[in-house]
Amino acid sequence: MSDLPVIRLRPKSRPQAIRHGFPWVFADEAVLDRRTRNLPAGGFAVLEDSDRRPLALVTVNPNSRIVARVMDGDAGVTIDGDWLRARLSRALSMRARLYSAPFYRLVHAEADGLPGLVIDRFGDAAVIQPNAAWADAMADQIAEALAEVTGVSTVVLNGQGRARSLEGLEERTAILRGTAPTGPIPVAMNGATYLADLMGGQKTGLFLDQRPNHAFAQRLATGADVLDVFSHVGGFGLAALAAGAARATCVDGSGPALELALGGAHAMGVADRLDILQSDAFKAMDGLAAEGRRFDLVVCDPPAFAPSKQALDAGLRAYERIAKLAAPLVAPGGYLVLCSCSHAVDLTQFRNVSARGIGRGGRRGVLIHTGQAGPDHPTLPQLAETGYLKALFFRLDG
């Protein structure tokens, strides 16, 4: 421990938050003198309280608003291959209990004790997103440990997105082990087949977090005419068809994503019951309403409209607008599913704007179910950001 630099909390900060499991130290909570500001991004240090008592081993990034992230409550550990293998083995053990097939989020950042690191597994391949400087610097060691623990032969690094820019990291994509997949990988979930593009798709290629919400929607989909707005590669639409929906329409702005949705439908043998519409989602809903279209089940699963507190007000307005546009598309007695993956929007706020939007759309409804991400996306109770996904299921009358 004596070989590591020290970063110290300010006297008025709250060291008990760290002791009780909060994993971040913000820049205004730490003593940022010249020495601290010159620490390398992604390096490690011992975090001390203002009385110089060790609190944890942390990774430091003086360029980030989150100046330190807790790696381990033991300030004397060494972050090396053994440490990585132990954390990955613990994460794998839980997923192996939960899922019969190796398609899941293996590492959910802070909630799995690997801050800023996301790993999604797709059978023999895995995609890592190193969204913190330490994980980016140790990406090769992470890939090696990942292969040893899980047996995957291909590891893709997808270094894109807003989280990396906040850390001062450049966008990059690389093959860390094995060879690049020659095409989309089929992923079976809830009886549906999805095609995951690990190299060119959004995020890691497939949104695995909605799996339990797909399953609940399937209970409403038998014999139904379904509209899946912001469908990506067919998330809710393909799940509905697998459950016996009469027809599904997937709307998305991405042509390649819709082609993957159609490919999944062909793999399932249900392509004759799937329609795809490439369009801005707001314009598409306006157009469908003008045509007088009505659906038994409408799902809206947009991207994060409020990725930060600064974007909260605009994001809430956007979610309300979605509800207003979607509500008239639901047949009497039908169902409306509204989703948010914005961690800056809490459940109460999202529920309120959704209900208001439904009212502004001339409809009334009752909330029958509230969903969240699956257990492969665990929530760290001390960090609300890890419980970002919300799914509201309404039955609309009249």
Catalytic site residues? 341
Tokens 């043998």 -> residue: 269
- The continuous run of DSSP H or E covering 295 comes out as strand 295-300
Compute CA distances 35 → 15, 32, 58, 133, 137, whole Å: 21, 8, 16, 19, 21
Distance, CA of 122 to CA of 120 (rounded, Å): 7
DSSP-assigned beta bridge partners for residue 155: 126, 177
DSSP-assigned beta bridge partners for residue 340: 390
DSSP β-ladder status, 247-252 and 274-278 = parallel
DSSP-assigned beta bridge partners for residue 66: 26
Of residues 351, 364, 359, the one with CA closest to residue 396: 364
In this structure, what token pair is assigned to residue 82?
């053994």
C-beta separation of 393 from 327 below 8 A: no
Compute CA distances 18 → 25, 71, 139, whole Å: 8, 11, 26
In this structure, what token pair is assigned to residue 46?
């011992």
The DSSP output letter for 77 is -
**Cα–chain-centroid distance for residue 307?**
12
C-beta separation of 128 from 118 below 8 A: yes
Widest distance between CA atoms in the chain: 71
Distance, CA of 228 to CA of 97 (rounded, Å): 31
In this structure, what token pair is assigned to residue 380?
């760290």
